[in-house]
């Protein structure tokens, strides 16, 4: 069954709620057709029953890997969720925002079979972000190698970052949050609050900005970040784009450049929670980068992808961002690396959008962060 809904900020959500209740009672699939600015698409639920899913990766044989934050790696095959999780993961500390997080395939996956994933792990000092790679054999990971560890682990369950991206030259980028400890983001002798750049096996590239410098971590590519939970590659320029959570306001989109300082917590467009008091020194400071775009109030962004498929020609080159706070999908129209239009889709229809990915066949896929989370697919009418 398909229902047509014309989106409007003034529309009541009552028809949607009634429809979903009807589908639940008669066990019909929820397959909504949405009209947004003359772009007609349906949202199909591929699978449900995921436990706080965080990220997805599409295997060449049409199977899909899904990470669940509590520490499970799941497999979708022929449109069905395998009842058992994949075994062979390292030890995972699923505390607060931590757990099993991002997952990506090596650019030459079909030749080498490497799968990369980020997670939070524990030692005697606390927990922190780590990255490992492994190969999949049946329902088990093999040849497990841990290729990156945040050295300064700490207490608490906030701000792990943990997004992964390979660039066009095969370098691996890792986002690392500042763990809720603001000054760490300005310390280049600390992995926290930075973007890390490595070779695919964990070696440090010789041209990283801080290689050979005293009191600096050579893995750091950029710093001054709060909690980057979105990272993607520009399909034309090959630049690495990130977004990160601000405090109360000030969520940012940035284009990452080697050795640059992105300001947190010295400059920000956000304010302190509760009282709304000023953070740092304002919004600008020489030697610190300005965001390409920011949100105030905060949307709590997570997941990000440029659309480069062929199913929606009018969306090609647009940037899509999930929102946890407002339960929606944001579409950003760009011109010369500037946002010229923002459109908000699916508001309060599916819950917290955790991840956004281009998928096989030119479709756009979403994950909803919930105890009964879903994998959704946007399809043209």
Any idea which residues carry the catalytic annotation?
159
For 259-295, the DSSP string reads T-B--TTTS-S-B-TTT----TT-S--TTSPPPSEEE
| Of the candidates 298, 181, 171, 159, the residue with the CA atom closest to the CA atom of residue 229 | 159
Phi, psi angles (nearest 5°) of residue 271: -130, 170
132, two tokens: 């490992």
Cβ–Cβ < 8 Å for 255, 319: no
Compute CA distances 213 → 188, 189, 209, whole Å: 10, 10, 9
Compute CA distances 137 → 87, 116, 203, 247, whole Å: 10, 15, 25, 42
Query: What ranges in the chain are assigned the alpha helix state H?
Result: 14-26, 109-112
21: left (phi over 0), alpha (psi -120 to 50) or beta: alpha
Cβ–Cβ < 8 Å for 92, 119: yes
- What is the enclosing helix (H) or strand (E) of 321? strand 319-323
Cβ–Cβ < 8 Å for 374, 327: no
Cβ–Cβ < 8 Å for 208, 197: yes
Cβ–Cβ < 8 Å for 19, 3: yes
- What is the enclosing helix (H) or strand (E) of 83? none
């Amino acid at each position: 069954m398909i229902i047509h809904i014309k989106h409007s900020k003034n529309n009541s959500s009552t028809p949607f709620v009634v429809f979903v209740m009807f589908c639940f009672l008669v066990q019909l699939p929820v397959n909504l057709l949405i009209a947004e600015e003359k772009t007609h698409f349906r949202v199909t639920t591929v699978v449900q029953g995921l436990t706080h899913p965080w990220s997805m990766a599409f295997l060449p044989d049409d199977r899909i890997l899904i990470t669940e934050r509590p520490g499970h790696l799941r497999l979708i095959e022929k449109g069905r969720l395998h009842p058992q999780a994949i075994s062979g993961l390292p030890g995972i500390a699923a505390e607060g925002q931590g757990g099993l997080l991002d997952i990506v395939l090596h650019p030459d996956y079909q030749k080498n079979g490497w799968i990369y994933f980020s997670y939070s792990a524990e030692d005697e000092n606390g927990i922190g972000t780590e990255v490992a790679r492994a190969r999949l054999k049946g329902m088990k990971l093999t040849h497990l190698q841990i290729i990156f560890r945040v050295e300064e682990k700490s207490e608490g369950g906030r701000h792990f970052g943990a997004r992964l991206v390979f660039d066009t030259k095969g370098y691996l980028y890792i986002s690392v949050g500042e763990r809720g400890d603001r000054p760490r983001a300005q310390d280049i002798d600390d992995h926290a609050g930075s973007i890390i750049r490595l070779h695919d096996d964990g070696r440090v590239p010789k041209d990283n900005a801080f290689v050979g410098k005293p009191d600096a971590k050579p893995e750091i590519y950029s710093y001054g970040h709060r909690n980057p939970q979105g990272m993607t590659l520009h399909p034309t320029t090959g630049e690495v784009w990130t977004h990160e959570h601000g405090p109360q306001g000030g969520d940012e989109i940035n284009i990452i450049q080697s050795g640059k300082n992105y300001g947190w917590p010295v400059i920000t467009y956000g304010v302190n929670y509760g009282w709304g008091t000023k953070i740092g020194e304002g919004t600008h400071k020489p030697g610190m980068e300005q965001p390409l775009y920011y949100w105030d109030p905060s949307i709590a962004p997570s997941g990000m992808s440029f659309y480069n498929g062929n199913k929606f020609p009018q969306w090609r080159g647009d940037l899509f961002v999930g929102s946890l706070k407002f339960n929606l999908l944001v579409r950003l129209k760009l011109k010369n690396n500037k946002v010229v239009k923002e459109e908000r889709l699916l508001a309060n229809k599916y819950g917290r959008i955790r991840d956004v990915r281009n998928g096989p066949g030119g479709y756009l896929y979403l994950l909803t962060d919930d105890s009964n989370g879903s994998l959704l697919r946007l399809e043209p009418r």
